[in-house]
Structure 1
């Protein structure tokens, strides 16, 4: 079969993700699709996958993606005539200790928040469902009846047939050897059988995705890891419809197969395959059996299911699976090349994710933007740090080892640290800082009091830093604190058309005079919030843009992708050029005035302005802005001068009790003040009106911008969801997000974020209240609200204004 000379979209890789993407492109979008597979369909890691299909993740959107997979696998055979091997057996997750049981109670709450029915069972109920299981050590189990299992190869072949039925062309035995590039985009795919000119490329090459991406200068941070499981002979008494089992405290999983069991696990000492290139000819190949390494799983499995000790092992599968540094898979547009899209790195969730991932990726390819809030799997969550193959390998192995560990709130990775430090790192260590890591940057989360060990002790309840963070919080409210926020992502946009570019990209009006700041969202075409940042106008043709640490790659690429080629505007990342010190608290002006000759009075330097001032002999960009709800400034300092400016502020602040403060206090302060956090409270699924940010949108101006038409269509119409704050008085409650919101006993939403407000003395959560008709003020005022926290109902009070200083008097003083 001759390769075509042109296709609208070329999909690379014939595993489950590539075939699903081709199927959805052809079925849903009638796209002209060519799929290329270097070997045969399923020959990467798809064919040897275990085939467990779970649905629940901590993200509502990813849970929706997994639910779609299940729905697709149920009906695909009717469309294509090829069976998928789908069996809805349900899944039991076992708990052997109280921390795990608390985790499951929270998961069950999350499941119900997302519309999934998860039950909690006693050991006796588990024994009745799985008579061969030893349950003496169980506290209980979670039961998700709609989970199941499927045949990976059968699903893939069925998707491939469906793709062909809808017009896609699939070619086996065709290897991609490179790309023809033009103006930073792919113009053609080079293969062993000729070139194919195309408009877009979808890299679904599995463990080869990193190599395929590299041919176009694109980084896809994957690490192949050896993953083993066994298939046993028949086991007497094992039901063919036995539920799948996940036994995380013993790091193992089980599923029934032809009367026997498939059993594998996730060991704490995983084995990477290679940090180099994966051989092109690794087709239907496995590694040698490694029973020595597998013994740890076998021992645990036999203790759980004693019948395994008498079962023969039919086969061991030891094959590579693609894992990522954070345990989440990879979708989306490459920041280095906007017409290559990636679907890879599925962390052994490829079968569970395949149907839904292909569905959303196809939509993403066609529209050029994600159809849902897919930030947790977005390729643009990574940075240049992830080009370091050894760093990626080390972090990925840690993530693999945590696959079945208890997911404690606020837990930090430890590998590959420190990677990036601010100039204050050693100084802050001297203040007993306990650091966390964000996109490689070391950032102080909290400061241990004298005589206290400077480390996190993880727990499901209040953690060891709770009281110390409360003291930091109160210090900012009552005196003055200094935050090292040097990790902020920072860009400069300059040129004659810089303002015109921002007019189109930003939802708010950035066309203010020189010296003014603008808080703004960047919207997608649906009106959803793609980014949330601050723009400072330094000169008529020069703007300084500041956004969150973790969004550096994403926001830079979003802005760059939406600057029209015809505009004379240059965007530059200057993150490492500036350190950032946030000086916040009622005494901030006294501290700042003592180190500068500039007038920092309210009249001379009002809120929402930017000035260049001198501190300790250095020129500093001072932004009068806050994320804590107090008088304060962000001081953007030439990076080499950060230490000098910090020392000067600490010296001048000594009479006012100045002290360094960490990110955990920042979080509690912003919750009290009602400031939104992108990625949780505001996402691409949420409009500014729904989020209570309609005031930051320039709909009254006759200026077009991305998302304007979508917002105009709903402007003034009844909102079906609204972001609200909730407080809980019960002191022993811990809010972490995704708790269910009840109104008059009926679920109406779930929390997007949660924490504790030390000034108001209550637990605080934010979440969207939903109503199919209208979330009116009366709907909110007349309801009796509760939160479901770890499956327990607790009374809650709803608030539509900030809990602290709702008029903003302290910020503007």
Structure 2
């Protein structure tokens, strides 16, 4: 396999088989097949050969293997080849003992075999095989068929992002903004609009489409026992090794009935884990994935209560503007806010009522970029970044959310007790950085005294405090407040300081402190 020449060569009986990988600009795409499907009756037909199109690859191959220069061409095969739009490897949700390795070439087959074998016997995949880039979007096949009830209302005002097959607003552009997808390792056209949205949520009221959340209904006589087994308290599911498998919000909707909510990228990951435990433990429960049936609108900001009070005289547990829904007093922004869950078909009606009710409060939309910045200011962890199957909840600073004294023998309990007894070697630290037009995103090297001592897990710009922020796992002796470090961004080291978290207090904490001060 010659990666630079973009071809592979192998023995085929007593000859050689040569196959090029054409450059994108020279490929002949069957657009009609994508749009209308493969023509009926198409079988093993071939296309007319075009050697001129692949001569660059042929010349590279003859340089590498000179015998090709004088070899006779026995046959030419010019046929269609298909590629999956994504690469899938690992256990398949919805089927027991079914594993996939889809979309990979033979050049990585040995690595895939090793990875799959470790997955099979270790229960938890040992590492992630994906490579990501800052705010990367893949535009082919967009929009996807997973769109919320407000997609048509927002699509022309938003930069949409791909989240577990869903289209979700990343940020909102207003007239005069430099709109469009403009990827960069540095701050680009999203920077100004995101700052505007953060201010909106901190000082006024904003609405965000959170429909990509994974949503499961768990019902049955063993539902309590199942959740006691799965959860280390009320939020986190652990692996048998005491690592953080998932972060899930659990809400009891009726006796023996629970609504479980997880992040968009964790939907099938978490569902498979729950279904596996149901099967292995023989629990009398049903688990139903209602992600596509339930949509979610988040409303947040100091004026959010005033907007909602115009629409209901109730405690907001059943209806809003006549639409049946469920509300949860929570917001990942850390500000006063609610998540509103309703039937997908009713979403646009509720959205328009909210926007009309909040007109005097200058209500507007915000996206996931702003939410990410706000959550980081508040010190909120994110699954897949600060916590995952490689980190335990104690080093992630999640002690408060774990109940080791819980009577139930939840998954990972004994392992976590052993981790606590042995002590930690590292801990998650909160960093502030002095940068120019670049911010950490995650997976950047952290340096101290000329050595790499850790890596960032996520990062963002804080519009409230006008500086860059990041989380990073560091050796214990480097986690005390005031510790100076360097974070490497695009080959340059920027000064970072370990800072007590959170940098911005959450709204409930601020409210409690204000009440306490008034009472004094």
**SS of 2:338 mapped into structure 1:** strand
Q: Of residues 374, 395, 408 in structure 1, which corresponds to 2:128?
A: 374
The alpha-carbon distance between structure 1 residues 424 and 461, as it changes in their structure 2 partners (threshold 3 A), is same
Which residue of 2 is the match for residue 805 of structure 1?
A: 505
Which residue of 2 is the match for residue 422 of structure 1?
A: 148
**SS of 1:373 mapped into structure 2:** coil
The alpha-carbon distance between structure 1 residues 635 and 806, as it changes in their structure 2 partners (threshold 3 A), is closer
Is the 8 Å Cα contact of residues 206 and 363 (structure 2) preserved in structure 1? yes
**Whole-angstrom CA distance in 1 between matches of 2:314 and 2:507:** 28
- Matching of residue 524 in structure 1 with residue 239 in structure 2: yes
**SS of 2:441 mapped into structure 1:** coil
CA-CA distance at 1:318 after TM superposition:
7.8
Q: Of residues 93, 96, 101 in structure 2, which corresponds to 1:343?
A: 101
The alpha-carbon distance between structure 1 residues 701 and 463, as it changes in their structure 2 partners (threshold 3 A), is same
- Matching of residue 705 in structure 1 with residue 459 in structure 2: no
Moved over 4 A (4+): 227-231, 261-266, 270-276, 286-290, 295-299, 305-309, 313-323, 810-813
Which residue of 2 is the match for residue 583 of structure 1?
A: 299
CA-CA distance at 1:678 after TM superposition:
1.7
1:111-190 equivalences in 2 (<5 Å): none
Which residue of 2 is the match for residue 788 of structure 1?
A: 488
**Whole-angstrom CA distance in 2 between matches of 1:51 and 1:561:** 42
CA offsets per residue over residues 282-341 of structure 1, 9 Å max, x none?
9xxx99964244257679x79xx99999x9485899899884423x4x322221222122
Which residue of 2 is the match for residue 179 of structure 1?
A: none
CA-CA distance at 1:780 after TM superposition:
3.3
**Whole-angstrom CA distance in 1 between matches of 2:325 and 2:129:** 33
Equivalenced residues, count: 491
**Whole-angstrom CA distance in 1 between matches of 2:423 and 2:70:** 62
Which residue of 2 is the match for residue 745 of structure 1?
A: 450
**Whole-angstrom CA distance in 2 between matches of 1:530 and 1:484:** 25
The alpha-carbon distance between structure 1 residues 266 and 547, as it changes in their structure 2 partners (threshold 3 A), is farther
- Matching of residue 410 in structure 1 with residue 164 in structure 2: no
Which residue of 1 is the match for residue 15 of structure 2?
A: none
**Whole-angstrom CA distance in 2 between matches of 1:756 and 1:735:** 8
CA offsets per residue over residues 539-561 of structure 1, 9 Å max, x none?
22010011122222221111111
The alpha-carbon distance between structure 1 residues 414 and 322, as it changes in their structure 2 partners (threshold 3 A), is closer
Is the 8 Å Cα contact of residues 373 and 683 (structure 1) preserved in structure 2? no
The alpha-carbon distance between structure 1 residues 682 and 293, as it changes in their structure 2 partners (threshold 3 A), is farther
Q: Of residues 200, 205, 212 in structure 2, which corresponds to 1:487?
A: 212
CA offsets per residue over residues 648-683 of structure 1, 9 Å max, x none?
211221111110111111111112122222222221
Which residue of 1 is the match for residue 248 of structure 2?
A: 533
Which residue of 1 is the match for residue 518 of structure 2?
A: none
Which residue of 2 is the match for residue 365 of structure 1?
A: 120
Which residue of 2 is the match for residue 267 of structure 1?
A: 24
The alpha-carbon distance between structure 1 residues 414 and 324, as it changes in their structure 2 partners (threshold 3 A), is closer
CA-CA distance at 1:747 after TM superposition:
1.0
CA-CA distance at 1:748 after TM superposition:
0.8
**Whole-angstrom CA distance in 2 between matches of 1:736 and 1:767:** 11
**Whole-angstrom CA distance in 1 between matches of 2:421 and 2:200:** 42
CA-CA distance at 1:799 after TM superposition:
2.5
CA-CA distance at 1:765 after TM superposition:
1.7
Question: Under a length normalisation based on structure 2, what TM-score does the superposition of the two structures give?
Answer: 0.84
Is the 8 Å Cα contact of residues 578 and 637 (structure 1) preserved in structure 2? yes
**Whole-angstrom CA distance in 2 between matches of 1:262 and 1:345:** 18
**SS of 1:473 mapped into structure 2:** helix
Q: Of residues 39, 45, 54 in structure 2, which corresponds to 1:294?
A: 54
The alpha-carbon distance between structure 1 residues 549 and 409, as it changes in their structure 2 partners (threshold 3 A), is closer
CA-CA distance at 1:798 after TM superposition:
1.4
The alpha-carbon distance between structure 1 residues 521 and 642, as it changes in their structure 2 partners (threshold 3 A), is same
The alpha-carbon distance between structure 1 residues 648 and 409, as it changes in their structure 2 partners (threshold 3 A), is closer
1:100-111 equivalences in 2 (<5 Å): none
- State the superposition RMSD in angstroms: 3.5
Q: Of residues 165, 181, 184 in structure 2, which corresponds to 1:459?
A: 184
1:725-764 equivalences in 2 (<5 Å): 725-764=430-469
Which residue of 2 is the match for residue 334 of structure 1?
A: 92
**SS of 1:335 mapped into structure 2:** coil
Which residue of 2 is the match for residue 631 of structure 1?
A: 336
Is the 8 Å Cα contact of residues 484 and 498 (structure 2) preserved in structure 1? no
Is the 8 Å Cα contact of residues 582 and 633 (structure 1) preserved in structure 2? yes
CA-CA distance at 1:732 after TM superposition:
2.2
**Whole-angstrom CA distance in 1 between matches of 2:28 and 2:445:** 36
CA-CA distance at 1:493 after TM superposition:
0.5
Is the 8 Å Cα contact of residues 482 and 497 (structure 2) preserved in structure 1? no
The alpha-carbon distance between structure 1 residues 373 and 532, as it changes in their structure 2 partners (threshold 3 A), is farther
**Whole-angstrom CA distance in 1 between matches of 2:160 and 2:466:** 26
**SS of 2:98 mapped into structure 1:** strand
The alpha-carbon distance between structure 1 residues 407 and 577, as it changes in their structure 2 partners (threshold 3 A), is closer
The alpha-carbon distance between structure 1 residues 228 and 590, as it changes in their structure 2 partners (threshold 3 A), is same
**Whole-angstrom CA distance in 2 between matches of 1:748 and 1:566:** 45
**Whole-angstrom CA distance in 2 between matches of 1:717 and 1:443:** 43
**Whole-angstrom CA distance in 2 between matches of 1:679 and 1:811:** 30
Is the 8 Å Cα contact of residues 629 and 811 (structure 1) preserved in structure 2? no
